[in-house]
């Protein structure tokens, strides 16, 4: 018997796999990361929301229930498909929408609930999901600030019929410009979204309806491919930094710390404290004078913006939050030294020394 190794195999898959290895890996990771059937790249987080609502057939004379305490794009997506955003109030501690108030706001025109996982904290998605099922309306999650956040070990954005993510540079997973993603397990809706993002054409030059030019461009996808393997570690670093803030700020008079709901994993897109007693702006100026930048997300709840002046909303918690919130510097590689300096200035201001 001749034991010479075979020079010419009958079939060699290695070269072709090598050629597309990084594409395959990215495709696998993209789907496996979130644990959904379809992860559809789009032009932005805003477009992800718009395309989700369009694919669901939400339009004029429909209502969508959402939070007034969020970035404008959440409500804007509802308005831009011609529907009416119905604002219901938030829980003052988590800053997220209150399921009990959502249920009360449902009318015969309600087509969807659009909660936001604000600042990276999972909204009460179990309660919202069961309301949506009970009333046979769609649940669309705005997970723009919460890529990687978990509820019972499952990614937020994968509970609703659609999850919308943003890859704007400042988000937890950011690209170089604009980018977004829609996740869904529904094959028909996924096909509809894929057509919507390419001018309403399933087949090139056979446009079936009016859509958008909303593809995720190749340069942004390449950036995301490089960053995706790191995002969990970066989120973990954010969580560690947040917990250092909590330990050091605990007990500071006039400062309330962001809670983490049991069974969830907050990814701290923002570390947002509440400053009570009407002293938020004073603390912000005090820190600014000492070279420490802070941000106010969001200074005006959406139902108080002139563009939504007609909306009949009673949202006292969102209004209170807008006067109390202050987001402290936080990024995955922020140092303990910087954090200690920030904390000691805050404690000084609050008379905690
Ligand atoms: C950033 C953001 C969006 C919009 O995402 P873009 O990619 O900037 O269009 C939508 N909703 C929330 C809550 C956001 O923070």
Q: CA nearest 62: which of 6, 118, 4, 107?
A: 107
Distance from Cα 254 to the centre of ligand 1, integer Å: 30
Q: Is any ligand 1 atom within 6 A of the Cβ of residue 145? A: yes
Q: Is any ligand 1 atom within 6 A of the Cβ of residue 140? A: no
Q: Is any ligand 1 atom within 6 A of the Cβ of residue 141? A: no
Separation of first and last alpha carbons in the chain: 87
For atom 2 of ligand 1, the residue with the nearest CA is 144
Q: Is any ligand 1 atom within 6 A of the Cβ of residue 298? A: no
What pLDDT shows up at residue 30? 53
Per-residue confidence at 39, pLDDT binned at 50, 70, 90? very high
Task: Round the average pLDDT of the chain to a whole number and report it.
Answer: 94
pLDDT tens digits along 179-210? 999 999 999 999 999 999 999 999 989 999 99
Task: From the CA of 46, give the closest atom in ligand 1.
Answer: 9
Measured between alpha carbons, how far is 125 from 263 in angstroms, rounded to an integer? 12
Contacts of the segment 275-283: beta carbons below 8 A, 24+ positions apart: 275/324, 275/325, 275/326, 276/324, 278/323, 279/254, 280/323, 280/324, 280/325, 280/326, 282/349, 283/326, 283/346, 283/349, 283/350
What pLDDT shows up at residue 11? 87
Which residues neighbour 296 within 8 Å (Cβ) at sequence distance 6 or greater?
280, 284, 322, 325, 326, 327
Residue 51 near residue 214 (C-beta atoms within 8 A): yes
Which residues neighbour 60 within 8 Å (Cβ) at sequence distance 6 or greater?
82, 83
Distance from Cα 250 to the centre of ligand 1, integer Å: 31
Q: Is any ligand 1 atom within 6 A of the Cβ of residue 45? A: yes
Q: Is any ligand 1 atom within 6 A of the Cβ of residue 158? A: no
Per-residue confidence at 19, pLDDT binned at 50, 70, 90? confident
Pocket test for ligand 1, best of 41, 122, 145, 301 (most atoms within 8 A of CB): 145
Whole-model pTM?
0.91
In the chain, what are the domains? 14-229 (3.40.640.10), 231-352 (3.90.1150.10)
What pLDDT shows up at residue 286? 98
Average pLDDT of span 245-273: 97
Which residue spans within 124-207 are E strands per DSSP?
Answer: 138-142, 150-151, 154-155, 162-166, 180-184, 201-203, 206-207
Residue 233 pLDDT more than 90? yes
Per-residue confidence at 336, pLDDT binned at 50, 70, 90? very high
Distance from Cα 325 to the centre of ligand 1, integer Å: 19
pLDDT: is 332 or 4 the higher one? Answer: 332
Q: Is any ligand 1 atom within 6 A of the Cβ of residue 168? A: yes
Per DSSP, the residues of 232-289 read HHHHHHHHHHHHHHHHHHTT-TTEEPPP--TTEE---SSEEEEE-TT-HHHHHHHHHH
Burial of 255-274, coded b for 16+ CB within 10 Å and e otherwise, reads: bbbbebbeebbbbbbbbbbb
CA separation, residue 324 to residues 252, 263, 339 (Å):
15, 27, 21
Task: From the CA of 170, give the closest atom in ligand 1.
Answer: 1
pLDDT tens digits along 109-135? 999 999 999 999 999 999 999 999 999
Distance from Cα 269 to the centre of ligand 1, integer Å: 12
Q: Is any ligand 1 atom within 6 A of the Cβ of residue 96? A: no
Average pLDDT of span 314-341: 98
């Amino acid at each position: 018997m001749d034991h010479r190794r075979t020079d010419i195999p009958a079939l060699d898959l290695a070269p072709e796999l090598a050629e597309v290895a990084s594409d395959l890996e990215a495709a696998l990771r993209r789907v496996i990361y979130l644990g959904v059937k379809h992860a559809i790249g789009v032009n932005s987080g805003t477009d992800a929301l718009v395309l989700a609502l369009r694919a669901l057939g939400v339009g004029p004379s429909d209502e969508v229930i959402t939070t007034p305490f969020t970035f404008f794009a959440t409500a804007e997506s509802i308005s831009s498909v011609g529907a009416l955003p119905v604002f219901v109030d938030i829980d003052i501690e988590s800053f997220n929408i209150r399921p009990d108030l959502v249920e009360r706001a449902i009318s015969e025109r309600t087509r969807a609930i659009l909660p936001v996982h604000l600042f990276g904290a999972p909204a009460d998605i179990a309660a919202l999901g069961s309301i949506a099922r009970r009333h046979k309306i769609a649940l669309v999650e705005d997970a723009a600030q919460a890529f990687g956040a978990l509820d019972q070990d499952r990614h937020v954005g994968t509970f609703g019929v659609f999850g919308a993510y943003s890859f704007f540079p400042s988000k937890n997973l950011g690209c170089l410009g604009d980018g977004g993603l829609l996740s869904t397990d529904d094959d028909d809706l996924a096909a509809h979204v894929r057509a919507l993002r390419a001018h309403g054409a399933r087949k090139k030059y056979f446009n079936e309806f009016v859509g958008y030019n909303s593809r995720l461009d190749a340069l942004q996808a390449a950036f995301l491919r490089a960053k995706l393997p790191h995002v969990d570690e970066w989120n973990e670093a954010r969580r560690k930094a947040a917990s250092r803030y909590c330990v050091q700020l605990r007990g500071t008079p006039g400062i309330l710390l962001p809670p983490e709901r049991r069974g969830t994993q907050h990814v701290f897109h923002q570390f947002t404290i509440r400053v009570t007693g009407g002293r938020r702006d004073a603390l912000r100026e005090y820190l600014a004078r000492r070279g420490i930048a802070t941000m106010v997300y969001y200074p005006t709840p959406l139902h108080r913006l002139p563009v939504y002046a007609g909306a009949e909303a009673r949202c006292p918690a969102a209004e209170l939050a807008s006067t109390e919130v202050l987001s402290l510097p936080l990024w995955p590689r922020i140092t303990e030294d910087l954090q200690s300096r920030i904390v000691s200035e805050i404690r000084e201001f609050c008379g905690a020394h």
